[in-house]
Structure 1
Amino acid sequence: MEKYGPNPNSLYPNEQIKSICYIKNVITRNNIMVGDYTYYDDIDGAEKFEEHVTHHYDFIGDKLIIGKFCAIAKGIEFVMNGANHRMNSVTTYPFNIMSNGWEHAVPERSDLPLKGDTVVGNDVWIGQNVTVMPGVHIGNGAVIAANSTIVKDIPAYSVAGGNPCKVIRQRFDDELIEYLEALKWWDWDAERIFKNLETLCSSDLNKIKEIK
């Protein structure tokens, strides 16, 4: 059987580099979904990715959804909706979780500023020590600079950075971005990706438009 790249169901795509693992193969929570070939890179335990998804509680119902072929550097933190406190009352203090008689002060779910699911598209590169706040959507092909805090949506094929994270520039012109969004190369089978690696990795952006 001919080989067309690493096995997406392996924990480590390269057994010689244990700092990189395919995230989908270490997920235990039903409310986290990750696509094939997306990896987390952390010398201190790449397989501990779930520890970097915080305040994620089943009763709230929000999901973390990450696409295929994403590259996520060490120090990532996905802050989920469970981190939010009610803001429409005199105090934001979460009395109920302190117990000892304060349990009755449970906020109504409708009082919490819930932002919905957090969604990372396909082929997204996230640099070191990035924080992603609840409900953010990051578009396909985006690049996020190290040490950024993402508080609002990032468009596809944008380079963004800072605290708060802002778009610095588009990676490509509108026409090519529209073409790539329609092409969806990340959904190709392994053989087709293998046969087009040179084109996918080329700085000659016209080659991608010649793919049949």
Structure 2
Amino acid sequence: MDALSTHPFFYDRAFGVAANDRVKKTRLVIENGVWLSHNVITTPGCARIGRGAVVGAGAVVTTDIPPYAILAGAPAGIIRTRFDEATIAWIDSSCWWHLDKSDLKRLLAEQPDSAFSPATGLAAARSLGDTAPGQGIRSEPLASGMLLP
């Protein structure tokens, strides 16, 4: 506000006037399974939106968002997390985001509780001795050489 102008010519060398960039450019990482509702604004103070986060419509996100958080407001504030810590660990161990469409289709058909009610799916898996959603769904290694639990 104290400069001669707020025009980007003064701050962004891409316009060919300023010799150096004066605005810190940040890269925003949005992890898997994130839902950004309508008209969400992220400011440069937010560099990461964690896996499974849900951001309410019109929220102004000024800081990083932890995984599985539900946020809303301006500035956005955490309302709660989507799941308890055990369920989050169980979901994260599944690496479901590495499944292809055919494997996801099998997961939905064979383990619907794992997909639509992870806390219920976790309880059922514990009673069966399984470790994560997708157990036995993928029989071949992922590109990284990793198998789903």
Partner of 1:137: 48
Partner of 1:122: 32
CA distance in 2 between counterparts of 1:204 and 1:177 reads 9
1:190 maps onto 2:101 in alignment: yes
Relative to total residues, which structure has the larger helix share, 1 or 2? Answer: 2
Partner of 1:33: none
Contact 2:28 2:48 in 1 (8 A): yes
Contact 2:47 2:64 in 1 (8 A): yes
CA distance in 1 between counterparts of 2:90 and 2:68 reads 12
Say how many residue pairs are matched: 118
CA distance in 1 between counterparts of 2:3 and 2:51 reads 39
**1:130-154 CA distances to partner (integer Å, 9 max, x unpaired)?**
1122353111100111110111111
Partner of 1:172: 83
The two structures, once aligned, show a CA RMSD in angstroms of 2.7
Contact 2:53 2:70 in 1 (8 A): yes
TM-superposed deviation, 1:189: 2.0
Using the size of structure 2 for normalisation, the TM-score is: 0.66
Structure 1: which 4+ aligned runs deviate by more than 6 Å? none
Identity of aligned residues (%): 26
Relative to total residues, which structure has the larger strand share, 1 or 2? Answer: 1
**1:183 maps to amino acid:** S
Secondary structure of 1:186's counterpart equals helix
**1:128 maps to amino acid:** H
C-alpha change, 1:96 and 1:122, in structure 2 (3 Å) is: closer
Secondary structure of 1:128's counterpart equals coil
Partner of 1:206: 120
CA distance in 2 between counterparts of 1:93 and 1:205 reads 54
CA distance in 2 between counterparts of 1:186 and 1:199 reads 17
Using the size of structure 1 for normalisation, the TM-score is: 0.48
C-alpha change, 1:104 and 1:129, in structure 2 (3 Å) is: closer
**2:33 maps to amino acid:** D
Q: Which consecutive unaligned segments of at least 5 residues does structure 2 have?
A: 136-149
**2:60 maps to amino acid:** T
